[in-house]
Amino acid sequence: MSAAKTSGGSFAPLRQPIFAVLWAATVLGNTGSFMRDVASSWLMTDLSAAPAAVAMVQAAGTLPIFLLAIPAGVLSDILDRRKFLIAIQLLLASVSITLMTLSYMHMLSVSALIGLTFLGGIGAALMGPTWQAIVPELVPREDVKGAVALNSLGINIARSIGPATGGLLLAAFGAAVTYGADVASYILVIAALVWWPRAKNADDALSEDFFGAFRAGLRYTRASKPLHVVLLRAAIFFAFASAVWALLPLVARQLLGGDSGFYGLLLGSVGAGAIGGALVMPRLRQRFDSNGLLLGSAIVTAMVMAALSFAPPQWLAVVILLFLGAAWITVLTTLNGAAQAVLPNWVRGRGLAVYLTVFNGAMTAGSLGWGAVGEAAGIPGTLLIGAAGLLAAGFIMHRVKLPAGEADLVSSNHWPEPLVAEPVANDRGPVLILIDYHVEKHNRTKFLHAIDDMSLERRRDGAYGWGVAEDSADPEKITEWFMVESWAEHLRQHKRVSNADADLQSKVLALHTGSEKPAVRHLLSINKPGRAR
């Protein structure tokens, strides 16, 4: 399909029937999940009024995402994504069926509620990276960004409808009916996934296994300084901002004197504010850069937390939470966009899984920590402490600028195929790659600085060891070496090198003298006779 036919604005991806059906099903599924979460959070306030116990529900939902996001990102790359998503939906439906049954029989306890919330968090952890990964399969390439934005909009539509609907159902019919509505939403999502006529994965001789892909993702994360900045900014913000989410059920009940319907209305207000924030985001981006948006969002969130601590009238609390929703969606889209911009396609799912791990780890630790503070300082005091911390952290972290994300991370494919005397088994390794340069003495310092910048690129793309050495007989002969765990991983490395990496290599090559290009050698590990591999 041509770009002219698909560039019809923000809603162009909905012209693709498969994306439209799955998007609608996702909105319904997320609406059901928010209804379930409202019921669980409110039921916990019936079972126990202790702030630590209420905060445990929030922690139980986010802890699995912290623990499992990275493995989930790996699984999304090596399994059939449609079948994997169906299995996850069945898991989530079984959790809600159990909650519905226990609630109907009046057998739901604090431990059962926290345990089942934890299982639901496992399903959410497995689903997140996988659902993001299928977007390029559903729409043309030029509509991918629009589809990602629509997915974000869909989540916030569900956030604005689900909590309010869940609160009303809970108040009118009880928790069992609310959980039953969530079960019905999973049935619709499963039906849409079964209907999706997804093509089978093509066979790939260089396909990664779970542990190899896991290691590759961690290597990239360790060596990516721009991603480190994004992760740091996310961890600091969400650790402080988690206070309002962990304690919101008690704010609604104890400070504001509301019932379950009012609590759902508060969450719906957050969702509505997020939708409004998403609509004005283009104008905000014209006036502020990413760092300014994060600082502004931290200030707004801190002001909301402080305002709630003074127990405002219920109508004013609803209005205040509109601003929380707008600030929250601004932070989420800004940080997620920064992470997307510094990740190449081959590791994007795993890199985003690391981001989700940090996000949910900060939310989990924050929820537990603020719950403990709430026991000692009370709800109003905890909100004020969190607001002050977030405000201070916002100004301090404003000095740590987000990466611009302007590097060209498209694969350059400029490395020639390695020369081999005979075919090499993919699992043979480790492999030592040697690149011999001739560098004149007056260029030595410049060369070492340039090749040091390239060391992170080697590690990001698959190397687990790197260094440079000089020839004792001729110091102008310098050899770069790096180790890769297998021949297949080195061949993947050839495909991973980006145009930005090629620019780094060109700076190094400009300091190499001689009529020929640097010699490249590939040394394969030899197993001694009789020794097991």
The CATH code of the domain that includes 498 is 3.30.70.100
CATH of the domain at 332: 1.20.1250.20
> Is residue 67 one of the residues assigned to a domain?
yes
- Whole-number Å distance between alpha carbons of 153 and 440: 57
User: If you search the block for the tokens 């809600």, which residue do you land on?
Assistant: 96
For residue 380, how far is the Cα from the chain centroid?
31
pLDDT digits (tens, 9 = 90+) for 73-93: 888 777 778 888 999 999 999
pLDDT of residue 498: 85
- Whole-number Å distance between alpha carbons of 178 and 31: 11
Q: Do residues 379 and 457 both lie within one domain?
A: no
Instruction: Look at the chain and report how many structural domains it folds into.
Output: 2
Of 397, 422, 451, which one is at a domain's C-terminal end?
Answer: 397
Task: Compute the chain's Rg from CA coordinates.
Answer: 26
Judged by DSSP in three states, 305 sits in helix
Of 345, 379, 397, which one is at a domain's C-terminal end?
Answer: 397
Residues of the chain with confidence (pLDDT) below 50: 1-8, 532-533
pLDDT of residue 164: 75
Torsion over CA of 160, 161, 167 and 169, rounded to 10 degrees? 180
Q: Do residues 331 and 480 both lie within one domain?
A: no
Q: Do residues 387 and 439 both lie within one domain?
A: no
pLDDT of residue 330: 85
- Whole-number Å distance between alpha carbons of 345 and 214: 16
Q: Do residues 451 and 375 both lie within one domain?
A: no
Bridge partners (DSSP) listed for residue 522: 433
Q: Do residues 57 and 168 both lie within one domain?
A: yes
Q: Do residues 393 and 435 both lie within one domain?
A: no
Q: Do residues 77 and 134 both lie within one domain?
A: yes
pLDDT of residue 147: 73
> Is residue 463 one of the residues assigned to a domain?
yes
Q: Do residues 510 and 377 both lie within one domain?
A: no
> Is residue 233 one of the residues assigned to a domain?
yes
pLDDT digits (tens, 9 = 90+) for 19-77: 899 999 989 988 988 888 888 877 877 777 667 777 777 677 777 877 888 888 888 77
Give alpha helix (H) positions in 398-479: 444-461
Q: Do residues 366 and 476 both lie within one domain?
A: no
Q: Do residues 349 and 442 both lie within one domain?
A: no
> Is residue 530 one of the residues assigned to a domain?
no
pLDDT of residue 530: 53
Q: Do residues 391 and 285 both lie within one domain?
A: yes
Q: Do residues 501 and 389 both lie within one domain?
A: no
> Is residue 7 one of the residues assigned to a domain?
no
Range of 328's domain?
A: 13-197+211-397
pLDDT of residue 149: 65
